[in-house]
Amino acid sequence: MALDLVKKYVVKENNIKHMIAVGAIMRSAATRLGEDADRWELVGILHDIDFEVCSGPEDHTVVAKDLLKDIVDAEVIEAIMAHNFENTKVPIDSRLKIGLVACDAASGLVLACTLVMPSRKIADVKIESLLKKFRSKDFAKGVSRERIMRCTDLGLSLEEFLALSLSGMNEVSADLGF
């Protein structure tokens, strides 16, 4: 259901793959944390539903609120809006919101590590490589290390969270083409 909904508003394949990846990491993290994995995955998949139809970062997720208001509950919408907290001012004050912020950023790091692998396969990325690349300020400069570190607010170490992220994306590697 979520992916069909996304495809009504998102046409760029890489954007769809990003949402699938974030959904997979959210599912992996939720499972580890004893949270509702289906709900967390839903939030991950829908989090950028308005990315191609909004006019810029100022209204990103605000448009999503309108697109989703009759489809999902307020907690899901608020979590989605919180991942653009810099513009929406929605506080990151729940595990679901923290999870989305961290998982969204982690997907970028895992993807960047995958793309520098000779095989370009997620299965070949090792946790040690992720940790090393995380610490390298010159690698994947657009990936917010601060957002990834929000995993500690969930009680997860960086190493465990990146392992969950890698595992989650590995689960959907066929859908991601990596």
Computed over every residue of the chain, the mean pLDDT equals 97
88-126 tens-digit pLDDT? 999 999 999 999 999 999 999 999 999 999 999 999 999
Nearest-5° Cα angle at 57, 54 to 59: 50
Is residue 108 in a domain? Answer: yes
35 neighbors 95 (Cβ within 8 angstroms): yes
Model confidence at 68, pLDDT cuts 50, 70, 90, reads: very high
The number of folded domains in the chain is: 1
The domain that holds 49 is classified in CATH as 1.10.3210
What percent of the chain has a predicted confidence (pLDDT) above 90? 98
Domain that holds residue 74: 2-173
Residue 178 inside a domain? The answer is no
The answer to whether position 109 is within a domain reads: yes
Distance CA 95, CA 92 (A): 8
Residue type for position 20: I
In a domain, 167, yes or no: yes
Task: Kindly tell me if the per-residue pLDDT of 71 is higher than 90.
Answer: yes
